[in-house]
Chains A and B, each alone.
Chain A
Amino acid sequence: MGEKGPISSAFTIRSETRYLSALRRWVDAMASLAGRSRVGRRARTALKMALVEAVDNAIFHAHRGDRTRPIGVRMQVGPGSVVMEVKDTGPGLDHQPGRLPEGMALHGRGLYLIRSMMTSVRSRKGRGSHTLRMVLKI
């Protein structure tokens, strides 16, 4: 069941870190639905990492800790790829370099991790919103 067709799921959360563990379980659940042979352990690790970093970014940078602002998350597992989108109401990622910071720096690894873990990453601005689209070939 569900081995060939795409599977998709989407929901909206508040800007709160307490959802992070649930988001990781969601990735595992989607991978199980798609079939563990399709979304293997390394892919699940990459997806969880990228999703958590994208939501961290929305909470702390885009929404600057305003818990009331919504974050939309969407995932689609297709035959050859997994697409995840994280939508916030912030200004986008223009201010973030996405490079690995020097060794002892405390911050700045989030976007680098996303880019390292995903096959492609695209940032798109809308009217009062920003969407980070992350694709992993599987």
Chain B
Amino acid sequence: MNIDVKQQGDIRVMHCGGSLDADNVSAFKKIAYDLVGAGTTRIVIDCENLTFIDSMGLGVLISLLRRVRQRNGDVKVASLSEEVKTIFEVTRLHRLFEVCSDWNTAVRRFDTD
């Protein structure tokens, strides 16, 4: 998978491509936890180019959400493909995360929270 982190004020947008599965959760976790360790508490996961996620990928997203919410922050997800959206709905993660149509909208939503 490939992850490109961009800064939008105090918000970090993680543009993710490929698949977030058991084979690469550790790479995602390292980058995401480093962001939190550096003080970031507002994160957008841009899934526009994310083609697949498995239960271990879901687990690492929830783990990240727990970490930032402990610090009064939040994680929003954006641009879910049909495949990833189906997996979110089956596991009801769309109730845990705010799902936005695109990453720009997710960034704006942080400003209205």
B interface footprint on A37-68 (CB within 8 Å = 1, 0 otherwise): 00001100100110011001001100000000
Q: Give the segment of A3-11, A108-116, A124-132 that binds chain B.
A: A108-116
The binding surface of chain B is classed by DSSP as helix
Tell whether, in the assembled complex, residue B62 and residue A113 are in contact, meaning their CB atoms are under 8 Å apart.
no
Q: Which of chain B's residues 60-113 have a Cβ closer than 8 Å to chain A?
A: 62-63, 65-66, 82-83, 86-87, 90-92, 95-96
Interface size class of B (residues with CB under 8 A): 20 to 34
Is A20 an interface residue when CB atoms closer than 8 A count as contact?
A: yes
For A42, the chain B residues whose CB sits under 8 A away are 86
Is A32 an interface residue when CB atoms closer than 8 A count as contact?
A: no
Asked whether A109 and B52 contact (CB < 8 A) given A45-B83, A59-B22, the answer is no
Asked whether A109 and B55 contact (CB < 8 A) given A45-B83, A49-B87, A103-B96, the answer is yes
Per the bound structure, the CA–CA distance linking A113 and B87 in Å amounts to 8
Asked whether A110 and B55 contact (CB < 8 A) given A59-B22, A103-B95, A105-B62, the answer is yes
CB < 8 Å: which of A17, A52, A56, A113 contacts B91? Answer: A113
Tell whether, in the assembled complex, residue A104 and residue B62 are in contact, meaning their CB atoms are under 8 Å apart.
yes
Per the bound structure, the CA–CA distance linking A41 and B21 in Å amounts to 20
For B96, the chain A residues whose CB sits under 8 A away are 103-104
Tell whether, in the assembled complex, residue B52 and residue A113 are in contact, meaning their CB atoms are under 8 Å apart.
no
10 smallest CB-CB distances across A and B, nearest first, come from A17-B23, A109-B55, A110-B55, A17-B22, A106-B59, A45-B83, A116-B90, A52-B54, A56-B22, A20-B23
Kindly list 12 other residue pairs between chains A and B, CB separation below 8 angstroms, not including A52-B52, A103-B92, A106-B62.
A24-B19, A24-B52, A41-B82, A45-B83, A49-B87, A52-B22, A53-B54, A60-B22, A100-B92, A104-B66, A106-B63, A112-B91
